[in-house]
A and B are shown apart, each in its own frame.
Chain A
Amino acid sequence: KQEVTQIPAALSVPEGENLVLNCSFTDSAIYNLQWFRQDPGKGLTSLLLIQSSQREQTSGRLNASLDKSSGRSTLYIAASQPGDSATYLCAVGDSGNTPLVFGKGTRLSVIA
């Protein structure tokens, strides 16, 4: 059974700092991995999708890497801003219709 772990559970950094969020999964036979952001009381916003054949994806100040063989992904946020404060969720999926398996998230606070 796939399990996804995110470390740390919470993180507080000063504005401008570069930071890394970690995600690990137990079964390397994944089809893709998604990083999401959730603001309090809101739905999830898809940030980046990495296919199993890819090593990384970039969008603006965000960069997500995937090491499928070791079961790890990282989300790198450059030059953090207070607006980046949110919960970041990592989820892995297969090629069928089974649901994504989520980690518990990392709650990020960027202090101005």
Chain B
Amino acid sequence: GAVVSQHPSRVICKSGTSVKIECRSLDFQATTMFWYRQFPKKSLMLMATSNEGSKATYEQGVEKDKFLINHASLTLSTLTVTSAHPEDSSFYICSARGFLHNEQFFGPGTRLTVL
């Protein structure tokens, strides 16, 4: 199957700093990427849908000024957590939808810990 990478895989930062997470589709182009967060032993929670070249669509309750999403190319989307606080600590996962059959592929996730 197609490969989606995320970088970094793990990040620890101080409260108040900003953290950028990259999501790349390595061997296919994706017009649409999705960002999720997941708390321990809980289901995935969709944060936003990111379309290349346009503004992201955020789910209800997700602060767009706090979670900045940029989808500048067909293979790269970034999520920036601005002024991170301990409650932002979570597992963030991205996915990319390929053209073929609309299949969706997921990245390995990024573990964010805010001290």
Contacts and interface: CB of A to CB of B under 8 A. Distances in A.
B106 A46 contact: yes
Contacts of A97: 31-32, 49, 51, 97
A100 to B, nearest CB: 6
A97 B46 CA distance: 14
A58 B109 CA distance: 27
Contact of A31 (B1, B51, B102): B102
B102 A102 contact: no
B102 A95 contact: yes
Interface residues of A, number: 23
A10 to B, nearest CB: 11
A60 interface: no
A44 interface: yes
Contacts of A34: 103-104
Looking at chain B's contact residues, the main secondary structure is strand
A51 interface: yes
Give the top 9 A-B pairs by smallest Cβ distance, nearest first: A44-B106, A43-B108, A43-B109, A43-B106, A97-B32, A49-B103, A104-B43, A99-B46, A43-B107
B93 interface: yes
A32 B102 contact: yes
A42 B104 contact: no
A44 B38 CA distance: 12
A45 B105 CA distance: 7
B91 A36 contact: no
A102 B43 contact: yes
Given A99-B34, A104-B43, 16 more contacts: A34-B103, A41-B111, A42-B108, A43-B4, A43-B6, A43-B93, A43-B109, A46-B105, A46-B106, A51-B101, A89-B44, A93-B104, A98-B49, A99-B49, A102-B43, A102-B44
